Each structure stands twice: as structure tokens, then as C-alpha cells.
Amino acid sequence: MTIDQYRLSEEPAYHPGGSEIAFYEAAYGARLPVMLKGPTGCGKTRFVEHMAWRLGKPLVTVSCHEDMTASDLVGRYLLGPEGTHWQDGPLTMAVRHGAICYLDEVVEARQDTTVVIHSLTDDRRILSLEKKGELVHAHPDFQLVISYNPGYQSVLKDLKESTKQRFSAVDFTYPAAAIEASIVAAEAGIAQAAADMLVRIGEKSRHLRGQGLEEGASTRMLIHAGRLMNAGMSLTDACHHALIVPITDDPDMRAALDAVVAAHA
């Protein structure tokens, strides 16, 4: 696998909500590591994809999880027909070849795993492959980007301060209603009026965050509902299956959200 396979061939559609594009271009120009902060499904990953395409850089994405080890990031020795050989992990590949490495929802990874990125986020810009006995100096084009949902932070799931303070950061939230409706209409292939209704329903669900819901319906979920509508489902059924059932198991909350949908149907 070559690094060119990580180049995006088409422009990912992205609707800016503020000065985030100018910020990212400046951060990339200075090769500063970047942290994207915001709720799940609000467009953080799409933004990184758009910026990688805009800058003409390969994008290596890693979806972090609690079982991810440092070896999953940096690489390991594998046994092959001719004996053991070293295989770079996604982070090492990006470091060597000058890609943007995006660690999606980094807070999901164990803290002892994320410590390996520290030497890449200061003036050293190096990655130590201890098992191989190699010190990799980052390619001049390499940049590290992480995403982080502050809404999930807890004693057990949060980034160390020593990690947070190594990054420049930008806040993301759900787009303004008119922009979000345009996104839903375009991504789902539905009429603007239907997209407007979905966004109003999504906003109502977000007002219930902390009142029985951990998170309201994300832009991604509204797009899923729109695609179900595009496939022939009614607004009521599409919202039930794409928005309500995924975010809550509480019967009373489901009933309340179904009532919200019915009021817009």
C-alpha cells in the first residue's frame, strides 16, 4: 500500500460555519497539531477530509477505540513466508511520507496509547519505534489532527492536560439551521422543505440534552433520516428509525420525540 492511495480523488462537500478554514490553513502552514472539538456527527471528519483535499495532501484516518494499542498506531513485526518483517502502522506511514494523520475521537483510546504522539506535537517532531530501534523524523509535510468530544469527558474518559496543551484547537457545533438544512437536502437528495422539517426536529431533540438525552440528533443522523425518506419512507417512520431509536431506549423519551416528529409531519 502506497501513501498515494490515501489521497482524495474528489472534493468532499463542506459548508464553513466560520473562520475554521483560514485557521486550519494557518495551522498547517506552521505545521501545528490541530484539535477539533465538538459533538459527534457535526462535521469534524468531513472538515478534515475537505482540508486534506484543499491542500492536496494524503489523509490517513484512524478511528480510535479503547482496545487500540501503541503498536496499532506505530507498527509491529509480522511473520511472513521469509521470516519476520516490520510493518509500519498508520501513524508511522503518515510521519514518513508527509500525510495528514487524523485520530478520530482520540478520547476513546487508552491514555497510555496516546502518549506516543507527544514527541510529534512539539519542536522535536519525531516518532520513536522502540521495538525496531528507530527514530523517525517527521516529513516536512506531516501534520497531526485529533478530534475530541468534550461532551464525553469524565474521570475515566478525558484527554490529559499534557496532551490538550500541545494542540491548537477549533470548536465545532451543529451548523446554523439554514446551512444545516442545505447540507441535509444536498447529502440526502431530498427537497428543501423536507430538509427544513428534519432540522427543526433535530433542534428540538438537542434542547433535551441533559434532560434525558446524552446527545441530540446530529447532522449525520438527519442525513440518514433524509436518505430513508428519499428511499420512500414517511417522515414519521424515517425519524423514528434514524433519529429516535438510535439515541434512546427510554420509552417515555421515545414517545416524547415521536410527538415532536408528529407535530412537524
pLDDT in tens, 162-198: 889 999 999 999 999 999 999 999 999 999 999 999 9
Do 103 and 68 lie in one domain? The reply is yes
184: which 3 cell numbers? 441535509
pLDDT value at residue 155: 46
pLDDT value at residue 226: 98
Do 130 and 40 lie in one domain? The reply is yes
CB count in 10 Å sphere of residue 203: 16
Report the alpha-carbon distance of residue 29 to residue 7 in Å, rounded: 19
pLDDT value at residue 154: 52
Do 218 and 256 lie in one domain? The reply is yes
Mean pLDDT, the chain, integer:
92
CATH number, domain of 101, equals 3.40.50.300
Structural domain count, the chain: 2
pLDDT value at residue 147: 95
Q: Reply yes or no on whether the pLDDT at 111 is more than 80.
A: no
Do 248 and 156 lie in one domain? The reply is no
Of the listed ranges 57-66, 107-116, 139-148, 185-194, the one predicted with least confidence: 107-116
pLDDT value at residue 109: 87
Among the candidates 171, 204, 221, a domain finishes at 171
Task: Return all residues near 215 (Cβ < 8 A) that are at least 6 apart.
Answer: 39, 40, 151, 209, 247
233: which 3 cell numbers? 419512507
Do 29 and 150 lie in one domain? The reply is yes
Do 42 and 131 lie in one domain? The reply is yes
Do 219 and 165 lie in one domain? The reply is no
- Which is more confidently placed, 152 or 166? 166
Backbone angles phi, psi at 71, to 5 degrees: -65, -30
Do 94 and 108 lie in one domain? The reply is yes
Average pLDDT over residues 79-97: 93
Domain that holds residue 75: 3-171
pLDDT value at residue 60: 98
Q: Are 18 and 179 in contact (CB under 8 A)?
A: no
Do 206 and 254 lie in one domain? The reply is yes
Q: Reply yes or no on whether the pLDDT at 153 is more than 70.
A: no
Do 54 and 143 lie in one domain? The reply is yes
> Got the DSSP string for the chain?
--GGGGS-SSPPP----SSHHHHHHHHHHTT--EEEE--TTSSHHHHHHHHHHHHT--EEEEE--TT--HHHHHEEEEEETTEEEEEE-HHHHHHHHT-EEEEETGGGS-HHHHGGGGGGSSTT-EEEETTTTEEEEPPTT-EEEEEE-GGG--SSS---HHHHTT-EEEE--PPPHHHHHHHHHHHHT--HHHHHHHHHHHHHHHTTBTTTBSS---HHHHHHHHHHHHTT--HHHHHIIIIIHHH---HHHHHHHHHHHHHH-
Q: Reply yes or no on whether the pLDDT at 214 is more than 70.
A: yes
Among the candidates 139, 171, 203, a domain finishes at 171
Do 19 and 115 lie in one domain? The reply is yes
Of the listed ranges 124-133, 146-155, 156-165, the one predicted with least confidence: 146-155
Do 157 and 204 lie in one domain? The reply is no
